[in-house]
Amino acid sequence: MSGKSVPSGGSAHARRPFPALSSPASPSLLRERLRDTFWFTPVSGLLAAFVIWWGLSELDTRIVTYLREEGAYQEIEDLLAFAGDARTIVTTVSAAMMTFIGVVFSISLVAVQMASGQLTPRVVRIFVRSRISKLTLTVFLATFAFSLLVLTSYEGGAAPDPRRVTSVPLVQSLLTLGLVGLSLLLFVAYVSSTLRLMQVGPVLDHITRESLDALKRQPQEPDRAPELGPETARTAHRDRAGVLRSVRVARLVRAARRHGVVLRLVPRAGDFLVPGTPVLTVHGGTPPPPGALRRAVLVGVERSLYQDPAFGLRQLSDIALRALSSSVNDPTTAVQCLDRIVQFLSVAVRLPLGPLHHRDRRGEVRLIQEVPGWTDLVDLAFEEIRGCAASSPQVTRRFLAGLDDLLLLAPEERGKPLLRHRALLVEAVERTVPEAAGRAFALCPDRQGIA
């Protein structure tokens, strides 16, 4: 679908005030940190496999004890016959499962490496945080460990005496067979998930959804900046150097309330901190002791989307830039990135972006957190892509259509950075394309680029 749209930043629709949007419940910071690790779920699965095996071995013992007390020796012989057949399967599973795990995840790592080379190295983060990847590895390892434990429950001898046998691993064998079936189902789901990781559309959709979730978790009510008292102290970063990933807001608000002060976070989420640089400024009273603020600012080796929605725009921009590079030359991928960038900004344009004011239970502001404003987000989204897009009419047409759509949604005061990028793009196309017909074609807005 193509057609020209007229930017109208001053329309009545664009001058509507910011709506009050409800924020979803913020997930636990601990749960978010566990999602960024790949070891916790498999280790938990191994421990659960041991606990379940111990419980089922006790159950099998009680079943055999009950049958022996009732004199049901024929039933015990039937259980022994079934267990003998199941033992062959369990032995095969225990021998083959570890090799199967190695082959599956070796192929997966190759697929992730290909996706990171084609799109962005940050795509590895999606694999690490994938629930299906963790669940599949957990079930595979649990099946392997459980089958080994079940083998220890079989009693020796070719034909155990039903009158003397103490336990028959009946329930354990049945669960092992169930785990094998579950492993096969998860293998199919895992392969499907890995293949989607190699596709542009699903990766961009995943990044956009996570970015929008992070954006909507921020306080959405427009708020007037409080009057800060004089700065009384500064707190320096004393931890290791790294990227500011998240802030323990509740801990800082409690510390500020107890000491009757207002804290202001100096860096923004995503900034790189080195020891000795200021992190917090204290206003209006006696500064809290260092122990009250310890571990309130968490750093890591890589940015996170938990409190940093701009990181999503950064990833979308990186993928578009790689697609527009001369070595790749894939304008269609760049257009797909612009689709998602416009989707993100169409939500952000309705939000009262600015410093976040975190309040205590009495409604008093205790923590001020700097976040990117509207102009920052627009520049991050469009500045670098605009510099590489002038020679690709497919991208310039989609670029202009996206800007025009955002101008229809933006309040009047937020149209200025959009109009600036529109004017700069037009200038770049006029400098790059010498033919008048080519310039006219490249500057015709089209939501599909070139349909």
Residue 203 structural domain: 29-212
Query: Per the domain annotation, does 414 fall within a domain?
Result: yes
Query: Per the domain annotation, does 450 fall within a domain?
Result: no
- Position 447 pLDDT exceeds 60: yes
Query: Per the domain annotation, does 224 fall within a domain?
Result: no
**Shared-domain flag, residues 59 and 117:** yes
* Domain finish residue from 165, 180, 212: 212
Cβ-contact 68, 163 below 8 angstroms:
yes
Can you tell me the distance from the alpha carbon of 183 to that of 359, in angstroms, rounded to the nearest whole number? 48
Can you tell me the distance from the alpha carbon of 332 to that of 47, in angstroms, rounded to the nearest whole number? 47
**Shared-domain flag, residues 283 and 324:** no
Mind listing the pLDDT tens digit for each residue in 35-93? 888 889 999 999 999 999 999 988 888 887 778 777 777 777 778 777 777 788 888 88
Query: Per the domain annotation, does 169 fall within a domain?
Result: yes
**Shared-domain flag, residues 34 and 19:** no
Query: Per the domain annotation, does 4 fall within a domain?
Result: no
* Domain finish residue from 248, 275, 300: 300
Query: Per the domain annotation, does 447 fall within a domain?
Result: no
The pLDDT value given to residue 5: 41
**Shared-domain flag, residues 127 and 165:** yes
**Shared-domain flag, residues 376 and 280:** no
* Domain finish residue from 212, 240, 258: 212
The structure tokens listed for 68 are 């022996």
**Shared-domain flag, residues 56 and 170:** yes
Q: DSSP letters of 340-374?
A: HHHHHHHHHTTS--S-EEEE-TTS-EEEEE----H
Integer-rounded Cα Rg, in Å, for the chain is 30
**Shared-domain flag, residues 149 and 271:** no
Q: pTM of the entire structure? A: 0.81
Strand partners, 265: 280, 369
Query: Per the domain annotation, does 95 fall within a domain?
Result: yes
**Shared-domain flag, residues 185 and 155:** yes
**Shared-domain flag, residues 75 and 175:** yes
Q: What is the CATH number of the domain that holds 254?
A: 3.90.1170.30
**Shared-domain flag, residues 276 and 182:** no
Mind listing the pLDDT tens digit for each residue in 132-188? 989 999 999 999 999 989 888 876 655 566 666 667 788 888 899 899 999 999 999
Q: How confident is the model at residue 15 (pLDDT cuts 50, 70, 90)?
A: very low
Q: Which residue has the tokens 């089209």?
A: 446
Query: Per the domain annotation, does 1 fall within a domain?
Result: no
Within 10 A of 438 (CB to CB), how many other CB atoms are there?
A: 13
Q: How many domains does the chain have?
A: 3
**Shared-domain flag, residues 288 and 317:** no
**Shared-domain flag, residues 247 and 323:** no
